């Protein structure tokens, strides 16, 4: 009789499991721990087991650092052109379009004004998801405008970096941004306006060689890769093994290249204390 029969499939394969919806679970790159997406968000995208700081976008970092509902974005519609008609594996203009569709950003940095624990600030946050957070002419111009905004409104400046460096598709136009942003920061310093630089993973190349390292206080997230050339390039160049943890935030702190390493959960309070000390 049918009600006494067993399914051969169920005996051989064991209990049938329901499919897990895509995106609900994330694997930690540091320790391999499987973390539920909601738990990861509650932990500000850090691993509770090994303290690994996940890379996050500009939107998430603004939510973490600023008071809710206080951010007002500036110069949102600025977009890069293709001045060199550059082509590698695809045309640069197509790469820009793809990045805009993927990130819903027009370039690799957001700038604007907001409040950190009720303190008004001017802020810029880079987004690694847009062509590796590379700095082209639009990124440099937006950072320069953020610096001008901070100087004219006399509000402290915060820049959060996440970048693979200068954008090769724009050649010398990209490299010009190093000098431009550095000169603007000199004007900000002359005006006596504090600037806090926050370096996340990775902060490399032209961004490191300009505004990322020019803060009155340079903060790094734990484990962040910070340097000019990457460790693989350096190893290939000098032909020697590099020290353990080379160019990571803790290594840079030990050697005096950053002032403090701060866990993401403590970033907002740390920035607030620093700004109150320097400004209020």
Over residues 168-215, the pLDDT tens digits come to 999 999 999 999 999 999 999 999 999 999 999 999 999 999 999 999
pLDDT higher than 90, residue 128: yes
- The CA angle 264-269-274, to the nearest 5 degrees, is 110
Residue 258 DSSP SS3: coil
Cis before residue 202, ω within 30 degrees of 0? yes
Q: How many domains does the chain have?
A: 2
Same domain, 149 and 254: yes
Residues 125 and 167 in one domain: yes
Distance CA 129, CA 74 (A): 20
What number is the average pLDDT over the span 268-273? 98
Q: Give yes or no: residues 241 and 131 share one domain.
A: yes
Buried b (16+ CB within 10 A) or exposed e, 40-76: beeebbbbeeeebbbbbbbbbbbeebbeeeebeebbe
Phi, psi of 64 (to 5 degrees): -75, -45
Do 37 and 157 have their domain in common?
no
Tell me if 79 is assigned to some domain: yes
Q: Is 197 helix (H, G, I), strand (E, B) or coil?
A: strand
User: Is residue 5 one of the residues assigned to a domain?
Assistant: no
Q: Looking at the structure, tell me whether residues 225 and 244 fall in a common domain.
A: yes
Across the chain, what does the average pLDDT equal? 92
Q: Are residues 162 and 45 in the same domain?
A: no
Residue 74 reports pLDDT greater than 50:
yes
Residue whose structure tokens are 């990571």: 248
pLDDT of residue 231: 86
**Predicted pLDDT of residue 69:** 97
Does the pLDDT at position 4 exceed 70? no
Reported as a pLDDT band with limits 50, 70 and 90, residue 280 is confident
The strand pairing partners of 261, in sequence order, are 220
195 and 93 within one domain = yes
The whole domain housing 35 covers 22-54
- Residue found under tokens 């905004």: 149
Do 144 and 183 belong together in one domain?
A: yes
Task: Based on the fold, state whether residues 71 and 29 are members of the same structural domain.
Answer: no
Cα separation, 128 vs 251, whole angstroms: 22
**How far is Cα 14 from Cα 16, in angstroms, rounded to an integer?**
6
Does some domain include residue 193? yes
37 and 149 together in one domain:
no
Q: What is the pLDDT of residue 232?
A: 86
- Band the pLDDT of 230: cuts 50, 70, 90: confident
Instruction: Check: CB of residue 159 under 8 Å from CB of residue 135.
Output: no
Position 11 in a domain: no
User: What CATH number is associated with residue 188?
Assistant: 3.90.226.10
Q: What is the DSSP string of 3-72?
A: GG---HHHHHH-SPPPPPPTTSEEE-TTT--EEEHHHHHHTTSB-TTT--B----HHHHHHHHSPTT--E
- Give pLDDT tens digits for 238-252: 999 889 899 999 999
Answer yes or no: is 7 within a domain: no
Looking at the fold, whether 72 and 31 belong to one and the same domain comes out as no
Together in a domain, 244 and 222: yes
């Amino acid at each position: 009789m049918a009600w006494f029969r067993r399914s051969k499939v169920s005996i051989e394969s064991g209990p049938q499991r329901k499919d897990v919806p895509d995106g609900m679970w994330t694997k930690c790159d540091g320790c391999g721990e499987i973390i539920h997406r909601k738990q990861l968000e509650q932990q500000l995208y850090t691993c509770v087991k090994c303290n690994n700081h996940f890379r996050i976008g500009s939107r998430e970092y603004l939510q973490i650092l600023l008071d809710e509902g206080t951010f007002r974005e500036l110069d949102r519609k600025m977009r890069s052109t293709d001045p060199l008609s550059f082509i590698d594996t695809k045309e640069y203009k197509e790469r820009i379009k793809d990045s805009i569709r993927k990130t819903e950003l027009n370039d690799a940095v957001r700038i604007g004004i907001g409040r950190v624990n009720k303190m008004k600030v001017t802020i810029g946050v880079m987004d690694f998801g847009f062509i590796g957070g590379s700095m082209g002419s639009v990124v440099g111009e937006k950072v320069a405008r953020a610096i001008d905004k901070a100087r004219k409104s006399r509000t402290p400046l915060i820049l959060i970096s996440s970048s693979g460096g200068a954008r090769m598709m724009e050649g010398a136009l990209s490299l010009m941004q190093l000098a431009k942003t550095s000169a603007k920061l000199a004007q900000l310093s002359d005006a006596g306006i504090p600037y806090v630089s926050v370096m996340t993973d990775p902060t490399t190349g032209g961004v490191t060689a300009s505004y990322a390292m020019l803060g009155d206080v340079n903060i790094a997230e734990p484990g962040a890769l910070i340097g000019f050339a990457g460790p693989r390039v350096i190893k290939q160049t000098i032909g020697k093994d590099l020290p353990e943890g080379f160019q990571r935030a803790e290594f840079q702190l030990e050697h005096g290249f950053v002032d403090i390493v701060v866990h993401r959960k403590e970033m907002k309070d740390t920035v607030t204390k620093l700004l109150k000390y320097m400004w209020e």
